[in-house]
Amino acid sequence: MTKHSVLILGARSDIGKATAHAFAALGHPIQLAARNASTLEADQTDIALRHNVRVSLHEFDALDLSSHAAFVEHLPELPETAVCAVGMMGEQAQNEHDLEAAACVIRSNFEGPASILAVLANRFEERGHGTLVGISSVAGERGRATNYVYGSAKAGFTAFLSGLRNRLARKGVHVVTVLPGFVATKMTEGMDLPAALTTTPDHVAKTVVDAVEKKRNVIYVKFVWRLIMTVIRNIPENIFKTKNI
């Protein structure tokens, strides 16, 4: 793989940091983008020293859509690969009664990520090459009572990535959709996750790097999730609506 710059959007997240390390380990310069980016200086130094690559910090707010074009314009160089690890789960019970909280979950998982990738997609298309990676979720494959606000936002993001991939396939730009399933991160801390269905940020990161290198399209980080979601998607609605899945 040619050594090119990689932009990590949502670089404060566990998946974002792991992905930065995975690309840096291969010699790629890294651009870390997050809110309050200066607080990532320790991570910047760690990645730079550990992997002997150039690492820069960039202030980025996924929810400030009006700032996205300027953010991309002011990057020191347009990256060859951009990985969007922006997202938040929120609490379903709260989201059912607090519409502002629900809106924040939807904007964090769909509107913000779609906006910044749309800006990057246009620039990549003009240039004629590049790879966009979106971290979505298996939760978006069917709405379930336990997390349908988060899941609906991820469903929108998955559909956006699919359309973007279809649009750009003949333009030299590749789009990767990553569906991790359960991941042991700060976002899922305290949740009782089944070990057989749970992966780690490092495993997600390695899967992302492999997908970029091999130009894969839709990736289930653990294959078992492809089987599980195939079953869940095909349960008839009159049965599904009565189940607690």
DSSP string, 140-204: GGS--TTTHHHHHHHHHHHHHHHHHHHHHTTTTEEEEEEE--EE-SGGGTT----GGGEE-HHHH
Answer whether residue 102 is part of any domain.
yes
Q: Is residue 1 part of a domain?
A: no
Q: What does the pLDDT read at residue 61?
A: 98
In a domain, 150, yes or no: yes
> Does any domain span residue 57?
yes
Q: How much is the pLDDT for 4?
A: 93
Residue numbers annotated as active site:
150
Give pLDDT, residue 192: 67
pLDDT < 70 positions in the chain: 1-2, 187-192
- Own/partner pairs, 138-143, CB within 8 angstroms, 24+ separation: 138/179, 138/180, 138/181, 138/220, 138/225, 138/228, 138/229, 140/179, 141/179, 141/229, 141/232, 141/233, 142/229, 142/232, 142/233, 142/240
- 17-59, pLDDT tens digit by residue? 999 999 999 999 999 999 999 999 999 999 999 999 999 999 9
Residue 11 lies in a domain: yes
Domain count, the chain: 1
pLDDT confidence of residue 17: 97
58 domain-assigned: yes
Q: Please report the pLDDT score of residue 163 as a whole number.
A: 98
Q: What is the CATH number of the domain that holds 137?
A: 3.40.50.720
pLDDT of residue 29: 98
Taking only the tens place, the pLDDT of each residue in 202-212 is: 999 999 999 99
245 domain-assigned: no
- pLDDT at residue 74, rounded to an integer: 97
For residue 36, give both structure tokens. 């309050």
Its domain, for residue 92, covers 6-240
Provide the 3-class DSSP secondary structure of residue 27. coil
Which is nearest to 181 in space by CA: 164, 168, 196?
A: 196
